[in-house]
Structure 1
Amino acid sequence: MPSGKIRWFDAKKGYGFITADDGKDVFLPSSALPAGTANLRKGAKVEFSVVDGRKGPQAMGVTLVGPMPSMVKAARPKPDDMAAIVEDLIKLLDAAGNGLRRHRYPSPAESKKLATLLRAVADNFDVQD
């Protein structure tokens, strides 16, 4: 049974592609996914059967092999980029702190932006290896 990794899959479009271990791309329709699986992450290892479709090889009977890779970990910024983000966050927090010392909270829009940024940075630090 051939194996490979998910190159990409779009649940809205209902299809994607597998890069087989031999390097060839195989069309992946959503009908070939295992029961109860609606989406697959890029890089997920799979085994599958191949049939000849209208436009080339098509995967059927897809089986997931091993755990799916973490999308959060894959999308995590590089350390140099994260350093710049943290430095910018420090500047924003310092400005908010100065306003609070003058007994003024940031505007609702600024507060929301700051809270969103804090959550995003925290999520990037909290990725489990």
Structure 2
Amino acid sequence: MPSGKIRWFDAKKGYGFITGDDGSDVFLPSAALPAGVTTLRKGAKVEFSVIDGRKGPQAMGVTVAAALPSMVKASRPKPDDMAAIVEDLIKLLDSAGGTLRRHRYPSSAESKKLATLLRAVADNFDVQD
């Protein structure tokens, strides 16, 4: 059974490509994924069988040999550190709320700082297991 790594896979489009250990590219339709699997990360090691499709080799019967660990998850702050960050963010949001209650938006610099912090905190919470 051939093996390779996921070159890319887009769940919305419903397909991707595998780069075989021999260097060949194989089309990967979402129908070939194992039951319960809806997406695969780039670089995940897979085993598959190959059939001749309309436009070349196509993977079927894909099994995931080893998924890559999430780099985002590995680099997340510790829960105690995250708690302090969230508490500081709440103080900033409270200050912005006070400004808004006075019928004004925070200054442009404050708004950009707050938006950047919100995105960073959201990214730390939005990690796929």
Q: TM-score range by the shorter chain?
A: 0.5 to 0.7
Deviations 1:30-75 (A, max 9, x none): 00001011111111111111111111110001111123342637xx
> Aligned in 2, Cα 1:61/1:112: closer, same or farther, shift over 3 Å?
farther
Coordinate RMSD, CA, aligned: 3.1
CA contact (8 A) 2:41 2:67 kept: no
> Aligned in 2, Cα 1:107/1:47: closer, same or farther, shift over 3 Å?
same
- Counting only pairs closer than 5 Å after superposition, residues 70-85 of structure 1 correspond to structure 2 as 70=70, 72=72
Question: Matches of 2:31 and 2:50 in 1, distance apart?
Answer: 13
> Aligned in 2, Cα 1:118/1:19: closer, same or farther, shift over 3 Å?
same
What one-letter code is carried by the residue in structure 2 that aligns with 1:57? P
Cα deviation for residue 5 of structure 1 reads 0.7
- Counting only pairs closer than 5 Å after superposition, residues 1-129 of structure 1 correspond to structure 2 as 1-70=1-70, 72=72, 107-108=105-106, 110=108, 113-121=112-120
CA contact (8 A) 2:3 2:45 kept: yes
Unaligned 5+ runs, structure 2: 76-91
Question: Matches of 1:109 and 1:71 in 2, distance apart?
Answer: 35
> Matched residue pairs, number?
98
Question: Matches of 2:8 and 2:32 in 1, distance apart?
Answer: 14
TM-score of the superposition, structure 2-length normalised?
0.61
Question: Matches of 2:45 and 2:36 in 1, distance apart?
Answer: 17
What one-letter code is carried by the residue in structure 1 that aligns with 2:105? S
Instruction: Give the percent of matched residue pairs that are identical in Structure 1 and Structure 2.
Output: 68
